[in-house]
């Protein structure tokens, strides 16, 4: 058997459910628990140890720990035996003896050492008793209501302590969570929490729900545990045969800790071919603020790496987790996360988070900045206590952030030289990939396929970054003055450029690429933006070249003086969408516009002197192939074809991975090649016949007519009706469906807009909601 590390006498240990932890670990005398095998393996000084685990579910009593003080082996491989399915679970089995309670609810006396956080039935998480009830079709939190903590609702709860309030941030910039501690003497709800977001704000007035309150146990699938009486109540899911079902309750937030430090790291451990599942939710532990980011973090997860080198997590599955899957905290070097599937988890999939003590002149809140006289002007980190030179490659990440919303498929904070390559990431409540600060750059984000992002929040991107580094201030005039006085200060933290290349990004409720709040020192090239466009806000030294922006545009927001920014050799669909722009950087030129209108408006701004427009000649835009043909005029701008081989590469993961929906080009819609469009889940078309015009009571053929309205389309939220004709959106008159989509692309980040429709042959003003 080949050893992945430098073998110096390999030893094998076996684990099987029918084993015994007093055994020696041989094939005939296996250990019963992974913990016992690991405890033995790490004492084998200088040896290369392989632990093989036979099939089955291994329920952990406590988190398994490997520390630098105890780790004596040269290398350790922990893996499933051959192709057998091995499950490491943070839940414990229970065997309820169900008895009728009332109203279809069952009860069982179950003695538990702690109040359970999650109840799993046949491996599927059941919702706690909640209001409003769980709705799989609801966009946010699977159902929300404005009145969840109103006096009218609260007076129905006798003893709500132990319940939870969950809400989006008022600006939809993440989420808040609170533990209900009881009721005050005047009947008001008392609670604590709200530390999950580093941008203080009220709870969102609409997007909130409560759970773990017995009076709300009123829908199939819900449950509640009475900790005092030790009784579990369950309203069985429809059609469930509870007598034959297997039940588990979670009790661990973390499954495996590998912990050393920068001076004595734990090295050479490989974790392979296993499934990690069944952990408790960690939202009340998410409280450590990150540098001026909107984030707070819980430094834990199914696997926690802290003070390690050359650790590999490969070919594993992470599912049905309450919190993070893999978190690399503080010093970690040359670690690799490869070929894994991560789905159905409560928080982030993979997160790199360094030690704030490694940061020079740190600040922790958006509105705070470091005074000039107190600032450390030394470039780079103070110590090496941060993740560095690590690799996240070929991972399938989807359906994350099921409870926490300030999450990412891959999160990078206070780290350097992290490579994120060939991952497929989709169905996320916020970003797919997020870089939280400029410490310390050198990241390579390449060949990732990221889509269906920012599904439950707003004002964000499929790729998002912040650059609220020591030079940055919310007051742009302060930034201009300090950078003029101290040239180079903008690069003290981001000492190496971040590279975004050959990715495919798509975002319906924000930007495909969103460089926000001072993000600096980026090279962005060869990316395909499918829907949300590309935004640069503030910041310095961003070079954006050879990207394709489909059905959207370039969004320059409030650039700083002498930013040095370059936007060149890109293919752009619609007119630029600038906001508060007084300074236009170094170069904006030699771009190709799909529409004459886009080019003309750019040149009216004094930009794009040598840019051109025309028929771009994509090979097959309808199928998402944006290769341009040899005769395309876009080649005259210096544009070169992009390698579109984004996403996972292992055959098994490719078979499982979804793909983004490819929408028709605006130019094809405007030319009549496409006659109908989907918008907000409904179908719209141009008014083409005299009969259509007469039926609507129109004086001309202008507008977009709603012709198909599925029952659960988002358009129903705005009370649109079949036959309505939208003639104006956000003060922009609409001649055709192409105008509807183009206007929407420029304003969708607003969340809603005023609209004029024709209904029953009369004009009517309504508000259209985009999410």
Say what percent of the chain tops pLDDT 70.
Answer: 99
Q: Which helix (H) or strand (E) holds 745?
A: helix 737-747
CA 358, distance to chain mean position in Å, is 26
pLDDT-derived band at 9, boundaries 50, 70, 90: low
Burial class (CB in 10 A: 0-12, 13-18, 19+), 731: exposed
Say what percent of the chain tops pLDDT 90.
Answer: 91
Q: How many CB atoms within 10 Å of residue 701?
A: 17
Sequence-distant (6+) residues with CB within 8 A of 387 are 328, 329, 330, 331, 332, 333, 335, 352, 353, 354, 412, 415, 416, 418
The pLDDT value recorded for residue 699 is: 83
pLDDT-derived band at 288, boundaries 50, 70, 90: very high
Q: How many CB atoms within 10 Å of residue 142?
A: 18
Tens of pLDDT along 344-384? Answer: 999 999 999 999 999 999 999 999 988 988 999 999 999 99
Tens of pLDDT along 401-428? Answer: 999 999 999 999 999 999 999 999 999 9
Residue written as tokens 């319940």?
163
Total residue count of the chain as it appears in this document:
771
Tens of pLDDT along 68-78? Answer: 999 999 999 99
The pLDDT value recorded for residue 5 is: 45
Asked whether the beta carbons of 501 and 523 are under 8 A apart, the reply is yes
Name the DSSP letter for residue 155.
T
pLDDT-derived band at 4, boundaries 50, 70, 90: very low
Sequence-distant (6+) residues with CB within 8 A of 209 are 130, 131, 132, 141, 143, 144, 145, 148, 165, 166, 167
How far apart CA 356 and CA 378 sit, in angstroms, is: 16
| Mean pLDDT value of segment 263-271 | 98
Burial class (CB in 10 A: 0-12, 13-18, 19+), 762: exposed
| Mean pLDDT value of segment 14-32 | 97
Q: CA torsion sign, 436 to 441 to 443 to 449?
A: positive
Tens of pLDDT along 34-46? Answer: 999 999 999 999 9
Sequence-distant (6+) residues with CB within 8 A of 322 are 117, 118, 250, 253, 279, 280, 281, 282, 345, 346, 347, 403
Alpha carbons within 13 angstroms on the beta-carbon side of residue 233 total 22
pLDDT at 126 over 70: yes
pLDDT-derived band at 57, boundaries 50, 70, 90: very high
Q: Where are the alpha helices (DSSP H) in 560-705?
A: 596-604, 651-656, 666-671, 690-696
How far apart CA 725 and CA 267 sit, in angstroms, is: 65
| Mean pLDDT value of segment 204-221 | 98
Q: Which of 603, 531, 608, 528 is nearest to 567 (CA)?
A: 608
| Mean pLDDT value of segment 159-183 | 97
The pLDDT value recorded for residue 242 is: 93
Average pLDDT, the chain: 95
| Mean pLDDT value of segment 122-130 | 96
The pLDDT value recorded for residue 2 is: 44
Paired sense of beta strands 64-67 and 10-15, if any: unpaired
The pLDDT value recorded for residue 377 is: 96
pLDDT-derived band at 6, boundaries 50, 70, 90: very low
pLDDT at 271 over 50: yes
pLDDT at 1 over 50: no
pLDDT-derived band at 565, boundaries 50, 70, 90: very high
Least confident of 13-27, 47-61, 62-76, 744-758: 744-758
pLDDT at 257 over 90: yes
| Mean pLDDT value of segment 298-320 | 98
The pLDDT value recorded for residue 751 is: 84
* Token pair belonging to 291: 């540098």
């Amino acid at each position: 058997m080949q050893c992945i590390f430098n073998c110096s006498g390999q030893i094998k240990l076996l684990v099987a459910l029918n084993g015994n932890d007093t055994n020696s670990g041989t094939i005939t005398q296996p250990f019963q628990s992974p913990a016992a095998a690991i405890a033995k393996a790490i004492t084998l000084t200088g040896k290369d140890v392989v632990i093989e685990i036979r099939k089955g579910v291994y329920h952990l009593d406590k988190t398994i720990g490997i520390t630098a003080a105890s780790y004596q082996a040269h290398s350790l491989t922990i893996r499933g035996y051959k192709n057998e399915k091995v499950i490491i679970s943070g839940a414990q089995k229970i065997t309820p003896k169900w008895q009728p309670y009332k109203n279809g609810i069952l009860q069982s006396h179950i003695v538990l050492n702690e109040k359970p956080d999650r109840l799993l039935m046949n491996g599927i998480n059941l919702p706690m008793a909640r209001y409003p009830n769980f709705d799989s079709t609801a966009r946010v939190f699977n159902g929300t209501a404005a009145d969840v903590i109103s006096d009218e609702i609260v007076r129905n709860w006798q003893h709500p302590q132990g319940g939870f309030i969950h809400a989006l941030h008022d600006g939809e910039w993440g989420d808040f969570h609170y533990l209900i501690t009881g009721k005050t003497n005047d009947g008001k709800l008392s609670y604590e929490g709200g530390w999950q977001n580093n941008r203080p704000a009220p709870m969102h007035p609409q997007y909130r729900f409560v759970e773990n309150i017995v009076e709300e146990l009123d829908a199939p699938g819900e449950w509640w545990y009475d900790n005092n009486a030790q009784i579990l109540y369950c309203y069985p899911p429809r059609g469930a045969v509870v007598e034959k079902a297997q039940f588990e309750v979670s009790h661990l937030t973390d499954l495996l800790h590998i912990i050393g430090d920068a001076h004595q790291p734990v090295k050479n451990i490989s974790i392979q071919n296993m499934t990690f599942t069944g952990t408790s939710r960690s939202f009340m532990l998410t409280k450590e603020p990150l540098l001026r980011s909107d984030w707070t973090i819980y430094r834990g997860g199914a696997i926690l790496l802290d003070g390690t080198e050359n650790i590999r997590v490969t070919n594993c599955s992470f599912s049905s987790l309450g919190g993070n899957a893999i978190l690399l905290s503080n010093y970690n070097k040359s670690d690799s996360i490869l070929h894994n599937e991560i789905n159905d988890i409560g928080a982030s999939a993979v997160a790199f988070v360094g030690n704030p003590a490694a940061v020079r002149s740190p600040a922790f809140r958006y509105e705070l900045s470091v005074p000039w006289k107190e600032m450390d002007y030394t470039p780079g980190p103070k110590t090496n206590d941060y993740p560095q030179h690590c690799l996240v490659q070929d991972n399938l990440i989807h359906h994350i952030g099921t409870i926490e919303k300030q999450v990412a498929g891959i999160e990078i904070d206070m780290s350097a030289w992290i490579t994120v390559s060939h991952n497929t990431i989709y169905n996320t409540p916020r970003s797919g990939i997020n870089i939280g600060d400029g410490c310390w750059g050198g990241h390579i984000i390449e060949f990732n396929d990221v889509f269906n992002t920012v599904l439950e929040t707003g004002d964000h991107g499929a790729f998002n970054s912040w650059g609220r580094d020591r030079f940055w201030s919310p007051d742009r005039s302060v930034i201009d003055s300090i950078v003029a006085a101290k040239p180079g200060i903008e690069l003290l933290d981001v000492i190496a450029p971040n590279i975004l290349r050959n990715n495919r990004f798509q975002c319906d409720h924000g930007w495909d690429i969103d460089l926000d709040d001072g993000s600096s020192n980026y090279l962005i090239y060869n990316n395909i933006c499918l829907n949300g466009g590309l935004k640069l806000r503030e910041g310095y030294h961003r070079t954006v070249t050879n990207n394709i922006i489909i059905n959207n545009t370039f969004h320059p927001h409030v650039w700083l003086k002498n930013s040095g920014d370059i936007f060149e050799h890109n293919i752009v669909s619609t007119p630029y969408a600038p906001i508060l722009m007084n300074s236009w950087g170094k170069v904006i030129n030699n771009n190709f516009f799909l529409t004459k209108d886009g080019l003309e408006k750019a040149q009216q701004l004094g930009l794009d002197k040598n840019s051109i427009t025309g028929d771009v000649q994509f090979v097959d835009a309808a199928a998402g192939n944006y290769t341009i043909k040899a005769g395309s005029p876009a080649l005259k701008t210096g544009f070169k074809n992009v390698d579109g081989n984004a996403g996972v590469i292992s055959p098994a993961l490719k078979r499982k991975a979804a793909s983004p929906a490819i929408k028709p080009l605006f130019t094809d819609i405007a030319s009549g090649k496409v006659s109908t469009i989907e918008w907000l889940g409904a179908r719209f078309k141009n008014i083409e016949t005299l009969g259509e015009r007469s039926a609507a009571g129109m004086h001309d053929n202008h507008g977009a007519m709603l012709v198909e309205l599925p029952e659960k389309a988002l358009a129903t939220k705005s009370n649109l009706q079949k036959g309505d004709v939208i003639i104006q959106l956000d003060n922009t008159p609409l001649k055709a469906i192409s105008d509807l989509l183009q206007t929407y692309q420029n304003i969708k980040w607003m969340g809603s807009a005023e609209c004029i429709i024709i209904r029953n042959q009369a004009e009517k003003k309504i508000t259209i909601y985009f999410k």
